[in-house]
A and B are shown apart, each in its own frame.
Chain A
């Protein structure tokens, strides 16, 4: 059992990171911390994919002339992670800009306070 856990340590760490991000989304009312939680979840997925691509004793896929194809690692997860990181950055920027707009209007980052003020504003009008 312990051997198996040590063998799968990359997957387990990625799951741990995923859970931390997930519980952050639930428990923190602060919007910036929610975004940090989402980023943690992104990172855990990248770790998981990168670990999936590794082959025992594999090299980086810089293919040399006439070499055996089995000596390289799997290039597909590499490509997926590469593009995933860029999308994570752009979605984070989008979230942050939305949060910035909310802060300008309600002067708070606390989701509860924002919801209260929005509800109050709706009742007033």
Chain B
């Protein structure tokens, strides 16, 4: 049956599906998955709504208690006996005890949110008007950054100059947070020797298009990082573009292709190396009293590529950290063989 279906191709299968031929109809009830789903529908009709996964898990536990079958076969066992079903129903009611006993739970949560909304609205109405020139946030700190920033940091982009010179310690902590999140995600999701599922090779059109598109995206990402102190952009935004390009590449070319070049070990090495480079480059200013401005590195002329002291390599480090972390997050959530 199956082989003939495959031979006939997709068009024939669609025709068969459309006409619902006799043989298909006769086969259908024997499909254990369909049968189980039918039982599931009856169960939620008779009792209360419960997710399919939770239902299957419950059934599986019941069968295991009865000793009906091996744990691996989900589908072929007898439906649970009425008593067991009753028990399942009971425990299901038990789980909703908060919702059932405290009937006002939802009402109360909506009320609390409304009260918070109202308080916040009152506060917002008291704030200085949007875009007001005499707002208290517009103080001497901003004035200093905007007036002296160009001479002191050598960066045209005031935001890059701010986050990498005046507030470099903040940004370092930021990168460490990223690194810590990546490491804990790896710890949670990675089990040893789990092969990645080999995706089918992507569509031909996509592959051909990606040949021209991917280099441009990568180039643009590097441009945004390298010109971060001259034009809008910087390490964080450019790193996000690079990470998106890597994710796109592994979607189109298959995770295995990209994974051969960028193994998880190499990605982690790059991240750690960038973090250490950042720390070493900023160590001097941390050591001399956290005054990151005005030390003896030639600033160059503001507006040129090689200007602003260490801004360029610092931006590169931040960009690499962000790109590698994005890519790591993506690779960790690809389904593996066992699932």
Contacts and interface: CB of A to CB of B under 8 A. Distances in A.
A98 interface: yes
Contacts of A70: 133
Q: Determine the main DSSP class of A at the interface with B.
A: helix
A113 B54 contact: yes
A97 B188 contact: yes
Given A23-B113, A83-B170, A113 B188 contact: no
A72 B146 contact: yes
A53 B232 CA distance: 16
Contact of B325 (A54, A69, A90): A90
Interface in A69-90: 69-70, 72, 74-79, 82-83, 85-87, 89-90
A19 B113 CA distance: 6
Interface in B89-131: 91-92, 94-96, 98-99, 106, 109-110, 112-114, 116-117, 120-121, 124-125, 127, 129-131
A52 B130 CA distance: 7
A56 to B, nearest CB: 4
B51 A110 contact: yes
B23 to A, nearest CB: 34
B177 A108 contact: no
Q: Determine the main DSSP class of B at the interface with A.
A: helix
Chain A interface size band reads: 35 or more
Interface string A38-79: 000000000000011111101011111100011010111111
Given A23-B110, A26-B113, A74-B142, A116 B91 contact: yes
Contact of A86 (B124, B189, B232, B236): B236
A7 B159 contact: no
Nearest to B166: A79
A77 B137 CA distance: 10
A61 B146 contact: yes
B142 A117 contact: no
Interface string B214-255: 000000000000000001101011000000000000000000
Interface stretch (B25-33, B76-84, B149-157, B268-276): B149-157
B16 interface: no
B257 interface: no
Given A22-B116, A96-B333, A116-B95, A69 B133 contact: no
Given A61-B158, A75-B142, A76-B141, A108 B150 contact: no
A64 B147 CA distance: 10
Contacts of A72: 146, 158
A15 B116 CA distance: 9
Contact of B157 (A62, A93, A106): A62
B279 interface: no
Contact of A53 (B50, B137, B322): B137
Interface string B163-181: 1000100110010011001
23 contacts: A19-B113, A23-B109, A51-B130, A52-B135, A55-B131, A55-B133, A60-B232, A61-B159, A62-B157, A63-B156, A63-B158, A70-B133, A76-B162, A79-B159, A83-B174, A90-B182, A90-B325, A93-B332, A94-B185, A106-B54, A107-B57, A113-B50, A115-B95
Given A22-B113, A89-B329, 4 more contacts: A19-B120, A86-B174, A93-B181, A97-B185
